[in-house]
Amino acid sequence: MDAELEQILDGIGPRLRTLRRDRGLTLEALAATTGMSVSTLSRLESGKRRPTLDLLIPLARAHRVALDQLVAAPASGDPRVHLRPVRHGRGNVLVPLTQYPGRVQVFKQVLAPREPKPVTHDGYEWLYVLAGELRVILGERDFTLRPGEVAEFDTRGPHWFGPANGKDVEILHLFGPRGDQPVVRARP
């Protein structure tokens, strides 16, 4: 085995331990989520067991990260996201800005005027207005956001958002399908 590959494999265990600890998980909790034994997880984290795909894939799912993030594989190809707008009837445009399903998804959206129809579903949303005015309805509350303003909310409650007036609104939209909230970790 060459030295670079050895170094990549040696870095996986500490990376797994850091991910687990950053999320406040015990080995027991992670074992319950992945179906692996506590001893297997401990040996992976300590480097006493070599990681294999059948072990890494459930861990990537449990931590909601891409497999290449667990492995810290060298970047290959073009790291840029190639934008492919999706048009949804009557002037609505959705531009996916992230590529990994199951994690927090980021979109740029242009929303055309439409009737408010509140919905509920699992998840957590964060909205940032780029241009225009955004009407947000959360349960009984109804308010308007202007460029530079932000709203975040749990999507299990009735909600709707769209243009506040007869003009399109442009937003950045983050959606966590499992109720994930963006987390900022900063050191003093």
Indicate the residue type of 14.
P
Shared domain check, 167 and 96: yes
Q: What is the pLDDT of residue 175?
A: 86
- 8 Å CB contact between 88 and 162: no
Q: Does one domain contain both 66 and 113?
A: no
In terms of domains, do 67 and 119 share one? Answer: no
Query: Of residues 7 and 113, which shows the higher confidence score?
Result: 113
Domain coverage including residue 44:
3-71
Whether residue 38 has pLDDT greater than 70: yes
The total domain count for the chain is 2
Residue 104 has pLDDT above 60, yes or no: yes
Report yes or no on 187 lying in a domain: no
Query: Please, which residues have CB within 8 angstroms of residue 140's CB and are 6 or more apart in sequence?
Result: none
Higher pLDDT, residue 73 or 42? 42
CATH number at residue 167: 2.60.120.10
| pTM of this structure | 0.56
Whether residues 140 and 92 fall in one domain: yes
Is-contact 106 173, C-beta < 8 A? Answer: yes
Band (76; pLDDT cuts 50, 70, 90) = low
Average pLDDT over residues 110-138: 93
Helices (H), 47-156: 53-63, 67-71
Give 7's pLDDT tier (boundaries 50, 70, 90). Answer: confident
Provide the pLDDT for residue 66: 76
The pLDDT value given to residue 18: 85
Rounded to the nearest angstrom, the gap between the alpha carbon of residue 175 and the centroid of all alpha carbons in its chain is 7
Query: Taking 70 as the threshold, does the pLDDT of residue 5 lie above it?
Result: yes
Residues 24 and 61 in one domain: yes
Q: Are residues 99 and 125 in the same domain?
A: yes
CB 129 within 8 A of CB 146: yes
Q: What does the DSSP assignment read for 69-92?
A: HHHTPPP-S--S-----EEETTTE
Flag whether pLDDT at 98 surpasses 60. yes
The stretch 114-142 carries a mean pLDDT of 93
